[in-house]
Structure 1
Amino acid sequence: MRFPWGTSDVVDLPTVGTRIDTFTDPAHVEGGPGARLQVARRQAQAFRREFPGTGTPDSITTCDLVTLPYPTRFGLFRASRALAPFLSITNRMLVIRWRDSDGRRRILLFEPSDVELGRYTPYFDNLSQHTPAVIERRMVREHGTVLDHLSRLGIAREEVDYLMFDHLHTQDLRRWIGTTAHQDDLGTTPTAIFPNAKVVVQQDELAAMAELHPLQKPWYQPATYRDVPAEAFLPIDGSIVLGPGVAVVKTPGHVFGNQSLVVNTATGIWVSSENVIATEALTPEHSRLPGLARWARQWQQEIVLNANTIETTADQYNSIILEKTLADRSQSDSRFLQFFPSSELTGMWTNPGTRPTFSHGHITHGPQL
């Protein structure tokens, strides 16, 4: 697999936002993962004090995309004692709007997955081929497409400034940002649906995708990036403030270039990523999911991570602690945090023992259309 740019070219692409100097790359922290964990806590506490001063966005709207099956042993790591081999997760997109200091309106789509093309991710494609159609229809529920939701919200495609994912697992961006050559499987040379949008992504992830490790291959679609235009990306190295109350924080571990969305709202700070699939995974002592509280107590684990890929597990654990430290308490149940999983655990009768104790379902901030 080769991208239309080399690894060195990624560094030279234009970027965006104001760099956050509070956070230190784990690779630059002296000592082992335990030392990095303590640094992550301190830095998150410092950023929690600073971040509200950046302001708040105008609005945040949650849009459901799809509910689909996911292996329990991945989503709840080694903690779950549920009999069900699969649980269900709901993928959601966040639409975030704000004004820059010069008054210009901005729109960020966080997790705008092209669900139709995402199905061809090797892992999910293989799962679909080995699942009877009648069962698949019961376990996969589509709620609305990215374009349907934007139409409902009155947002034109040309108005979208940024596309962002916590990582690029399953993502096929060809229809969103266009390609420079004919795509045989699509039967066309796609013109960008979002012609003015740039993809905010960590340099580390683009570099890793240029030559995937075998552990990564089931979850990426690298061939779909062969003909996408390099100028559609805004690679960043670390953490940035993108707008008032909108930050991108590097949280490596689930993938090398993982990143989390952090937003300041009327109810305080929210964090969103797929590092865990349920907010109770950050406070498992309060979970009624079979096995979680006992496992956390027995092994002195503060969190239960989402572990479909274990690229650097200790770093992922530390990143989740950073997220846990940043997020405010939920106003509806203070046992849980304002952590919004980009793929949230969803109870279904087909998956006994996997119904979450607590769910957010959505983030609401500002006017809702």
Structure 2
Amino acid sequence: MRFPWGSAEVADLPAVGTRIDTLAHVEGSPGARLRLIRAQGEAFRREFPSTGTPDSVVTCDLVTLPYPTRFGLFRASRALAPFLSITNRMLVIRWTENGTGRVLLFEPSDHELGRYTPYFDSLSQKTPALVERQVVRVHGTVLGHLARLGIKPEEVDYLMFDHLHTQDLRRWIGTTAHQRDLGGQPRAAFPNAKVIVQRDELAAMAELHPLQRPWYQPAAYRDVPPEAFLPIEGSVVLGPGVAVVKTPGHVFGNQSLVLNTSTGIWVSSENVIAAEALTPEHSKLPGLAKWTRSWQQEVVLNANTIETTADQYNSIILEKTLADRSQVDARFLQFFPSSELTGAWTNPGTGPTFAHRHLTHG
């Protein structure tokens, strides 16, 4: 699969944010990198509050859907249920920059088109409609939530995902050609928005590895306008209390959202699906605490592609180092999974010990 831009064109696209030198790329063995990443995380955690806080953060529920337990609670779960449920949520972040208001949508998934991701499309075709209606629950849409919040689509400056698994952006950023499956050439719902993405992920998507193919929709990017993307390399501060931190592993170009709020620092990504996956010693989910003790591991990954597992582990440790303790239950951290484990009667043994459900500030 080839994209409508070459490497030179991507390099020429404008940059965004202020580079975080504290979180520079580290070399060495996985163990050596882990030690350095902990130190970097502690340093940035001390620095980050000085950037300020955003004006507001609002959480919007999008869809709850099934996900394999063996992926979401990688190797650790002893639940009998082969599937668990995760709820995908969008964060709406607003801040003021030089007197101008900015709006960032984090995880604005077009779940109506996301269902055609190869893995989920295959799962849907094998699932009776009656069963699918029981396990898939739609809570709202991106545009519907924005209308409720009084935000016009043209006011949105940035779209951002921790990675582009399952994402189809054609309705959000428009296309340069007719789309047969959409019945025309969609105009951009967000005409002024740019998609913040790691350059590594764009490069990887240009020629997918077999481990990646079930989770991407590469054809959906064939006719998207390259100028809609803001590729970044590494970690940047976008605005007061708003940062993008590179966290490779789940995919090569994974990135996490870091926010400084009235309750301290929050981190959000899909590297894990539950806050207790960062402190599994406090988890009541069957198997997690025992497994991490037995294997001497301090986190439980969300691992479906296993692109670079050691890097993902190290990235989760960085997230764990950055996040403050929850003010609701100090055993758990202010890590907000972009797709959070959600209890369901259909999935015994997968109900979370603790869930954030929302992140609110301002």
**Cα pair 1:329 1:335 within 8 Å, conserved:** yes
Corresponding residue number in structure 2 for 1:299: 295
Runs of 5+ consecutive residues of structure 1 not aligned to the other structure: none
The C-alpha deviation readout for 1:316-351, integer Å capped at 9, x for no partner, is 000000000000000010000000000000000000
**Cα pair 1:7 1:210 within 8 Å, conserved:** no
Corresponding residue number in structure 1 for 2:145: 149
**TM superposition shift of 1:24:** 2.1
Q: Distance in 1 between matches of 2:8 and 2:342?
A: 41
Corresponding residue number in structure 2 for 1:5: 5
TM norm structure 1: 0.98
**Cα pair 1:253 1:316 within 8 Å, conserved:** yes
Corresponding residue number in structure 2 for 1:332: 328
Secondary structure, counterpart of 1:247 in structure 2:
strand
Secondary structure, counterpart of 1:74 in structure 2:
helix
Corresponding residue number in structure 1 for 2:36: 39
Corresponding residue number in structure 2 for 1:52: 49
**TM superposition shift of 1:8:** 3.1
Q: Does 1:362 align with 2:352?
A: no
Q: Does 1:220 align with 2:239?
A: no
**TM superposition shift of 1:248:** 0.1
Runs of 5+ consecutive residues of structure 2 not aligned to the other structure: none
Q: Does 1:203 align with 2:206?
A: no
The C-alpha deviation readout for 1:200-255, integer Å capped at 9, x for no partner, is 00000000000000000000000010000000000000000000000000000000
Percent identical residues: 82
Q: Distance in 2 between matches of 1:74 and 1:7?
A: 33
Secondary structure, counterpart of 2:60 in structure 1:
strand
TM norm structure 2: 0.99
Corresponding residue number in structure 2 for 1:290: 286
Q: Distance in 1 between matches of 2:305 and 2:12?
A: 29
**TM superposition shift of 1:15:** 1.3
Q: How many residues align?
A: 362
Please list, as runs of the form range in 1=range in 2, the aligned pairs for 1:310-349 lying within 5 A after superposition: 310-349=306-345
Secondary structure, counterpart of 1:185 in structure 2:
helix
**Cα pair 1:150 1:156 within 8 Å, conserved:** yes
**TM superposition shift of 1:6:** 1.2
Q: Distance in 2 between matches of 1:236 and 1:278?
A: 27
Q: Distance in 2 between matches of 1:323 and 1:87?
A: 23
Match among 93, 96, 99 for residue 99 of structure 1: 96
Secondary structure, counterpart of 1:4 in structure 2:
coil
Tell me the amino acid that sits aligned with residue 6 of structure 2.
Answer: G
Tell me the amino acid that sits aligned with residue 95 of structure 1.
Answer: V
Secondary structure, counterpart of 2:204 in structure 1:
helix
Please list, as runs of the form range in 1=range in 2, the aligned pairs for 1:243-282 lying within 5 A after superposition: 243-282=239-278
Q: Distance in 1 between matches of 2:161 and 2:303?
A: 18
**TM superposition shift of 1:66:** 0.1
Secondary structure, counterpart of 1:10 in structure 2:
helix
Corresponding residue number in structure 1 for 2:108: 112
The C-alpha deviation readout for 1:77-113, integer Å capped at 9, x for no partner, is 000000000000000000000001x110000000000
Tell me the amino acid that sits aligned with residue 257 of structure 1.
Answer: G
Q: Distance in 2 between matches of 1:32 and 1:96?
A: 36
Tell me the amino acid that sits aligned with residue 328 of structure 1.
Answer: D
Q: Does 1:82 align with 2:79?
A: yes
**TM superposition shift of 1:10:** 1.4
